[in-house]
Structure 1
Amino acid sequence: MFSSLITSRIVATLSALLVILVGCGAGIWQLNRAEQKVRLGESLAAKLEMPVLNANADSLSLEQASERRILARGRFIPAEAIWLDNRPRPIPEGGSGSSGQSGFYVMMPLKLDGQEAVLWVNRGWAPRNNQDRVVLPPVKTTDEPVTIEGVAFPHPGRVYELGQKGTAKAIPRIEQNFDLALEAQSHGWKQLPFIVRESDSAKKDDLVRNWPSPTNGVDHHYAYAFQWFALALAGFLFWLINGLMKYRRELAVNGDRV
């Protein structure tokens, strides 16, 4: 039987082994991604229950501020805004809308009152003009001091980017990713070591801020994991059943009874 299943079927055995390894590896990766999202969601929920920090009064490091709620007061600098491209419309769990709609995150520096420092704010999501990429949607920005509340993060999220970021600044600045250190070096100003993702979804400035929970998509990861494990099982069963059928045929040819 060993010869019928393996020795005489080296190619089929190696192919089945490859399918099993790929299926199990991808399934385990999907389970790990789901676990990471669950842990991130639990960490964020715990930190959101902590007291609100004040960017104007406190000297905050990234470690102190990360995933914490923050208040900040100052004036936006709309001329230095950065439009992060290829960002899907944020749809919260159970919300409605087209999550596949592509648009921009509007990153804008906020000059803090009472400080010589700048805080970069992810003000929200704006839709993209599908006919002309450089035609930007209108965003209302007041010249008066504003108070914003949001959650601090190391960066606004990254997407895959071909090549390296250039040093030239086009107007408007449409970028794939945002680099805090590069902006500090480029502007020569003092800035806080984190960005704040604004939370007020009711503000009338034509931006969407229905930020999803970090645990969004966990069910999809479990479903994908099931599919990959099912593929691995199907590959094994296909190899085994065909091997047993070959073994029965060899017994019949040799005149043995099965």
Structure 2
Amino acid sequence: MFSSLITSRIVATLSALLVVLVGCGAGVWQLNRADQKISLGESLAAKLQLPVLNANADSLTLEQALERRIVARGRFIQQEAIWLDNRPRPIPEGGAGSAGQSGFYLMMPLKLDGQESVLWVNRGWAPRNNENRIELPPVKTADAEVTIEGVAFAHPGRVYELGQKGDTKAIPRIEQNFDLALEAQSHGWQQLPFIVRESNSDKNDGLVRNWPSPTNGVDRHYAYAFQWFALALAGFLFWLINGLMKYRRELAVNGDRV
């Protein structure tokens, strides 16, 4: 039987082994991604219960502010806005909407009141014009001093980027990703070592701020994991059944009773 299943079927055995390894590996990876999202969600939920930090009054490091609620007061520097391209519309867990709709995250520096420092704010999402990439969506920005509330993160999220970063002097600045250190270097100003994702969803400024929970998509990871494990099992069963059928045929040819 060993010869019928393996020795005489080296190519089939190696192919089946590859399918099993790939399926199991991808399935485990999907389970790990689900665990990571659950851990992130639990960490964020715990930190959101802590007291609100004040960017104007506190000298905050990234470690102190990360995933904490932040309030800041100042004026937006509108001419330095950065539009992050290829960002999907944020849809909260259980919400309805066109989740596949592509658009921009609007990153804008906020000159803090009473300080020389600048705080970068992810003001929200706006849809893009699919026919004219350079035409930006209409967004309202107050010229007066404003108070914003949000959650601190190390960056606004990254997407795959081909080539080098675009011209930092271009107007409007449409980028794939945001580099906090590069912005500090190019502008020569002091800035806080984190960004704040604004959470005020009731502002009538043309931006969407229905930010999803980090656990969004966990069920999808479990479904993908099941599919990969099922593929691995199907590959193994296909190899085993064909091997057993070959073994039975060999017994029949040799005149042995099955």
Bin of the TM-score, shorter chain as denominator length: over 0.9
Percent of matched pairs sharing the same residue: 88
1:219-258 alignment, distance < 5 Å: 219-258=219-258
Partner of 2:176: 176
Q: For residues 239 and 166 of structure 1, what CA distance do their matches in structure 2 show?
A: 52
In the alignment of these two chains, the number of paired residues is 258
Instruction: Please state whether the residue corresponding to 1:139 is helix, strand or coil.
Output: coil
- Mind listing any 5+ residue stretches in structure 2 that lack a counterpart? none
SS of equivalent residue, structure 1 residue 256: coil
Distance 2:138 2:74 in 1: 21
| SS of residue paired to 1:120 | strand
Please give the alpha-carbon distance, in whole angstroms, between the structure 1 residues aligned to 2:170 and 2:30: 39
Q: CA deviation at 1:169?
A: 2.3
CA distance in 2, matches of 1:201, 1:242: 59
**How do 1:1-258 residues align onto structure 2 when only pairs under 5 Å count?**
1-258=1-258
Q: How many Å apart are 1:163 and its aligned residue?
A: 1.6
Stretches (4+) displaced over 6 A: none
TM-score if structure 2 supplies the norm length?
0.99
- What does the per-residue CA deviation read over 1:159-199, in whole Å, with 9 as the maximum and x for residues that have no partner? 00012214542110000000000000000000000000000
In structure 2, distance between residues paired with 1:246 and 1:94: 51
- Structure-1 separation of matches of 2:157 and 2:61: 19
What's the TM-score, normalizing by structure 1? 0.99
Aligned-pair Cα RMSD in Å:
0.6
2:116/2:190 contact within 8 Å kept:
yes
For residues 239 and 228 of structure 1, the distance between their equivalents in structure 2, rounded to whole angstroms, comes to: 17
Q: Distance in 1 between matches of 2:154 and 2:170?
A: 25
1:96-121 deviations in Å (ceiling 9; x for gaps) = 11000000000000000000000000
- CA offset digits 1:56-106 (Å, max 9, x no partner): 000000000000000000000110000000000000011111000000000
Which segments of 5 or more consecutive residues in structure 1 lack a partner in the other structure? none
- Alpha-carbon displacement from aligned partner over 1:17-66 (angstroms, at most 9, x marks no partner): 00000000000000000000000000000000000000000000000000
